[in-house]
Amino acid sequence: MAKLLEVQDLKTQFYTSQGTVLAVDGITYDVEAGETVAIVGESGCGKSVGALSILKLIPDPPGKTVGGKINFMGQDLLKLSDAKIREIRGRDISMIFQEPMTSLNPVLTIGLQLTEAMEFHLGINRKEAETQAVKWLEMVGISEAKRRLRQYPHHLSGGMRQRVMIAMALCCEPKLIIADEPTTALDVTIQAQILELMKDLSKRLGVALIIITHNLGVVARYADRVNVMYAGKIIESGTAHDIYHRPSHPYTLGLLHSVPRLDQPRKERLQPISGQPPDLTHLDNGCAFRSRCSFMVAQCATAYPPLEEVETAHSSACWEKHKLGELAAA
């Protein structure tokens, strides 16, 4: 498959009174047309900042993308003017944010918020846009779609609001959708419905999907490939199968051990990752995970391990990655 998006050595920083926060510190990954890529990690690891950087949505000040390239369909998004990037937002790349109630405008009807994007990007009139809006609402599973156009966000449940957000993301038929924790505020049953809907529409319409999440269950079921982030860097990358069955970084292993599993005894205790994430304003040259890591060696304190292949299409940034690979295979 052709590379739709290529992120190369992306660096985004925030300038605060406590120092410079290295929120995204040289990440590199790609997304192929039609595939689903997950970006996983704890809160504060840089997942969302990396996604917002793609669409140049980092507020300046206090933040700024200071290095790297973001190649999308043959052009570097970081070099585009504000006017050009506005044409791409919503048209070629759409974003679904964490909480739909804060993303939807509370004083505008659902219909107006849906049709506005189509009128701007597709150049169609209001009547045509309303017809399209009804079609998209029906496609995402909202009943009585025509009536919903006249309603406001507070009239809808959390699950229905998130379906509206998906319809808004799809209505201009983009090539790529970035979904930032799209099920955070929803109960488990609705989460599953929303994720199934997104995966189904992605396959049916051929849209590539970046899912940002801390939920490894989401990754196992819906992602083709996975990038695991910690302290602003990608520390492991591979297929969802490899990440689950052959983790090669202690942090990935810790994330997997902290998730409840139905195939384990009910009284089996979860194994949380000890300690706290590092202060991103005071990182040294060593591995940022070493203070929480049971595999630490002397080299971890003096040099950050490069992201290197463990096997084909599976990379890890750990000095002890081969030892972890042997443990996973045992």
pLDDT in tens, 79-126: 999 999 999 998 999 999 877 778 899 999 999 999 998 999 999 999
At 90 the pLDDT is 87
At 278 the pLDDT is 92
Amino acid letter for position 165: M
At 98 the pLDDT is 79
Angstrom distance (rounded) from CA 104 to CA 110: 8
User: What mean pLDDT do residues 67-89 have?
Assistant: 94
User: What mean pLDDT do residues 49-65 have?
Assistant: 93
Angstrom distance (rounded) from CA 178 to CA 94: 6
Least confident span in 54-68, 180-194, 289-303: 180-194
Angstrom distance (rounded) from CA 41 to CA 213: 7
Residues found in the chain: 330
3-state SS, residue 19: strand
pTM: 0.91
Residues of the chain with CATH 3.40.50.300: 3-92+175-190+202-329
pLDDT bucket at 268, cuts 50 / 70 / 90: low
- CB-based contacts of 22, cutoff 8 Å, min separation 6: 11, 13, 231, 232, 280, 281, 283
Of the candidates 89, 93, 207, 106, the one whose C-alpha atom is nearest the C-alpha of residue 161 is: 106
The pair of structure tokens assigned to 157 is 């449940």
At 156 the pLDDT is 92
Angstrom distance (rounded) from CA 246 to CA 253: 9
pLDDT bucket at 231, cuts 50 / 70 / 90: very high
Give kind and range of the element (H or E) at residue 256.
helix 250-257
Please tell me the CATH superfamily of domain 3-92+175-190+202-329, with its number.
P-loop containing nucleotide triphosphate hydrolases (3.40.50.300)
* CB burial of residue 45 (10 Å; 0-12, 13-18, 19+): buried
Least confident span in 113-122, 137-146, 259-268: 259-268
